[in-house]
């Protein structure tokens, strides 16, 4: 059987390239010293991504608030970056909220989302003046009670179930929205309705623009009923990230087949790794999307003094991290090899959605290429048959050896730590935050720990 797998070359941000080319020895020393897997996080790249998204709004003259969806990565350095930028954070648990406050983000810049939030989370949000996205009528009633008890007015958004996603378990139905609006009008001492929110699964520009436009209409309706504060539309997150070149991605999908994977494994679907219009481009597409009557979404927002909230997770983390695994050993199989890497696929979350993180892993450091590529899949060092980092047979340029390090690029968005556990009594992998000097070689690294652990 002659299997020639297709390459999926992961994009590399210039800072990532500088890190891997000019500082490979330091990176290798960090993995030796701190253990495998090791996550590297790059707050400089996160900051660049945030500025790019803000520039899209600014260029279109649309006022906006950017909230980083914290669930996409637990690293403290990203919350610290938000604080430094004066940017907000979207949280959905008491621990996420308290860590965000500890990073120096003020309560008024924090959005609280998630379904049927606990009284503890809602109370802390009320006391800190956070903006709470209400997901059900019963939650709204609890917020009103808590606001009375704490003698605070709650700042709220009503999260709406999008028309295009009638099976979503999140958000209020149209009937519930009306009841919630009536209730907010009755309870104006306890709740300040600041606007409406939605979050779409999927990446359709048109769906996102139409949903946003409908929520602008809802704001105007609420204003007409006397709620002058109702001026914000929360677009949710969901800006896609481009991991590999679109042309390469299209070719990959055309030739993809089970024979290219260890054990003839097949998957139900993949993230759109080669999406054509990622991040800031996708945001621009949404805001400039033509609506009925010849206007665009941006124009409609400007006309009515509406402010957008955007809650990206993955798009802010694009290129802002990578994950290294030490190679423990190599097994030869007919036509390919199995690399055993120290760690588990819990540190590369895509396997936990019955899918695979497809961008090709690299070998750290440089070795001359051999005449034939070295075909290998990558297994974890656990005792589960299914614990594989990469089922796909990757064409490495030279034979992989014990002691090598594999680099998985662009893992900061959701891959790193969403599912990590102490399986086999392993310690949770560490994260190192790295800042590179913009001029010449040299870097500064620090363990990513809570602010209380630094002087
Ligand atoms: C997860 C989530 C986000 C972030 O989504 P991304 O796809 O990472 O941008 C934003 N808002 C809500 C309500 C979410 O649940």
Q: pLDDT 10s per residue in the chain (455 long)?
A: 444 568 999 999 999 999 999 999 999 999 999 999 999 999 999 999 999 999 999 999 999 999 999 999 999 999 999 999 999 999 999 999 999 999 999 999 999 999 999 999 999 999 999 999 999 999 999 999 999 999 999 999 999 998 888 999 999 999 999 999 999 999 999 999 999 999 988 889 999 999 999 999 999 999 999 999 999 999 999 999 999 999 999 999 999 999 999 999 999 999 999 999 999 999 999 999 999 888 999 999 999 999 999 999 999 999 999 999 999 999 999 999 999 999 999 999 998 788 999 999 999 988 899 999 999 999 999 999 999 999 999 999 999 999 999 999 999 999 999 999 998 988 999 999 999 987 777 899 999 987 666 65
Q: Same structural domain for residues 66 and 164?
A: yes
The vertex-238 CA angle with 316 and 360, nearest 5°, equals 65
Top mutation candidate among 69, 161, 234, 239 for ligand 1, by most atoms within 8 Å of CB = 69
Instruction: Decide: 41 and 447 in contact? Cβ < 8 Å.
Output: no
Domain boundary pick from 315, 344, 377: 315
Same domain, 67 and 90: yes
**pLDDT at residue number 439:** 75
Whole domain around residue 100: which residue ranges?
44-241+278-315
Residues 412 and 449 occupy one common structural domain: yes
User: Can you tell me whether residue 418 is helix, strand or coil?
Assistant: coil
Which pLDDT score, from 0 to 100, does residue 1 have? 41
Q: Same domain, yes or no, for 392 and 357?
A: yes
323 DSSP β-pair partners: 39, 408
pLDDT of residue 442: 84
- Ligand 1 proximal residues by C-beta, below 6 Å: 69, 71-72, 90, 113, 199, 236-239, 311-315
Contact 9/245 with Cβ under 8 angstroms?
A: yes
Pair 76, 181 in one domain: yes
**Do 108 and 234 fall into the same domain?**
yes
Which ranges constitute the DSSP H helices of 60-157?
76-85, 94-102, 119-128, 137-150
**How far apart are the CA of 415 and the centre of ligand 1, in A?**
14
Q: Is 43 helix (H, G, I), strand (E, B) or coil?
A: helix
SS3 85: helix
Contact status, residue 41 vs residue 432, Cβ threshold 8 Å: yes
Angle between helices 205-224 and 174-186 (to 10 degrees): 30
Residue 264 domain-assigned? no
Ligand 1 centroid vs 397 CA: distance in angstroms?
Answer: 37
The H or E element containing residue 441 is none
Q: From the CA of 49, how far away is ligand 1's center (Å)?
A: 16
Instruction: Give 446's strand partners.
Output: 433
* 77 and 157 fall within a common domain: yes
Going by alpha carbons, the residue nearest to atom 5 of ligand 1 is 237
Of 260, 290, 315, the position where a domain reaches its end is 315
Q: Note whether 36 and 49 are same-domain residues.
A: no
Per the domain annotation, does 351 fall within a domain?
yes
**262 in a structural domain:** no
- The dihedral over CA atoms of 10, 16, 22, 23, expressed in degrees to the nearest 10, equals -110
Q: Which atom of ligand 1 is nearest to the CA of 236?
A: 11
Residue 180's contacts (CB-CB under 8 Å, 6 or more residues apart) are: 134, 137, 140, 158, 172
Q: Give me the number of domains the chain comprises.
A: 2
Sign of CA dihedral 370, 242, 406, 1: negative
Q: Is 337 part of any domain?
A: yes
CATH number at residue 427: 2.40.37.10
Instruction: Calculate how far, in angstroms, residue 312's C-alpha sits from the geometric centre of ligand 1.
Output: 6
Contact 300, 291 (CB under 8 A): yes
pLDDT of 219 reads 98
**Is residue 251 included in any domain, yes or no?**
no
Residues 34, 50 share a domain:
no
Which of 257, 290, 315 is at the close of a domain? 315
Ligand 1 binding pocket mutation candidate from 160, 170, 311, 353 (most atoms within 8 A of CB): 311
The enclosing domain of 217 has a CATH number of 3.20.20.10
- Distant-in-sequence, close-in-space partners of 167: CB < 8 Å, separation ≥ 6: none
In DSSP terms, which residues pair with 172 in a beta bridge? 160
239 C-alpha to ligand 1 centroid (Å): 9
54 and 25 in a common domain: no
């Amino acid at each position: 059987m002659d299997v020639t797998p297709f390459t999926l070359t992961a994009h590399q941000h210039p800072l990532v390239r500088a890190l891997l080319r000019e500082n490979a020895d330091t990176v290798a020393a960090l993995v030796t010293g701190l253990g495998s897997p090791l996550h590297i996080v790059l707050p400089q790249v996160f900051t660049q991504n945030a500025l790019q998204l803000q520039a899209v709004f600014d260029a279109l003259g649309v006022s906006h608030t950017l909230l980083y969806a914290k669930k996409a990565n637990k690293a403290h350095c990203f919350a610290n970056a938000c604080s430094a930028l004066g940017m907000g954070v979207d949280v959905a648990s008491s621990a996420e909220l308290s860590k965000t406050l500890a990073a120096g983000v003020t309560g008024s810049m924090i959005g609280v989302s998630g379904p049927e939030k606990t009284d503890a989370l809602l109370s802390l949000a009320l006391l800190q003046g956070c903006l709470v996205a209400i997901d059900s009528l019963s939650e709204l009633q609890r917020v009103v009670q808590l606001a009375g008890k704490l003698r605070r007015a709650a700042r709220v958004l009503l999260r709406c179930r999008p028309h295009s996603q009638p099976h979503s378990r999140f958000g209020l139905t149209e009937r519930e929205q009306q009841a919630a609006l009536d209730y907010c009008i009755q309870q104006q001492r306890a709740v300040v309705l600041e606007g409406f929110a939605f979050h779409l699964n999927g990446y359709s520009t048109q769906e996102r623009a139409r949903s946003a436009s409908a929520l602008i209409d809802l704001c105007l309706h609420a204003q007409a009923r006397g709620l002058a504060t109702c001026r914000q539309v929360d677009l949710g997150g969901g800006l896609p990230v481009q991991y590999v070149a679109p042309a390469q991605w299209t070719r990959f999908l055309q030739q993809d087949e089970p024979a290219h994977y260890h054990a003839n494994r097949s998957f139900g679907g993949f993230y759109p790794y080669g999406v054509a219009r990622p991040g800031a481009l996708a945001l621009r597409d949404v805001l400039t999307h033509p609506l009925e009557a010849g206007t665009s979404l941006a124009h409609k927002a400007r006309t009515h003094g509406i402010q957008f909230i955007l809650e990206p997770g993955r798009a802010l983390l694009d290129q802002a991290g990578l994950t290294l695994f030490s190679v423990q050993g190599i097994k030869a199989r007919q036509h390919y090899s199995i690399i055993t890497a120290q760690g588990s696929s819990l540190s590369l979350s895509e396997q936990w959605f019955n899918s695979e993180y497809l961008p090709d892993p690299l070998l750290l450091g440089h070795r001359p290429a051999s005449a034939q590529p070295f075909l290998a899949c990558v297994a974890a060092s656990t005792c589960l048959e299914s614990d594989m980092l990469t089922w796909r047979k990757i064409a490495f340029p030279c034979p992989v050896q014990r002691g090598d390090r594999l680099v998985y690029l662009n893992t900061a968005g959701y891959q790193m730590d969403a599912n990590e556990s102490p399986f086999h009594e392993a310690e949770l992998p560490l994260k190192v935050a790295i800042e590179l000097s913009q001029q010449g070689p040299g870097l500064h690294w620090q363990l990513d720990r809570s602010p209380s652990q630094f002087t």
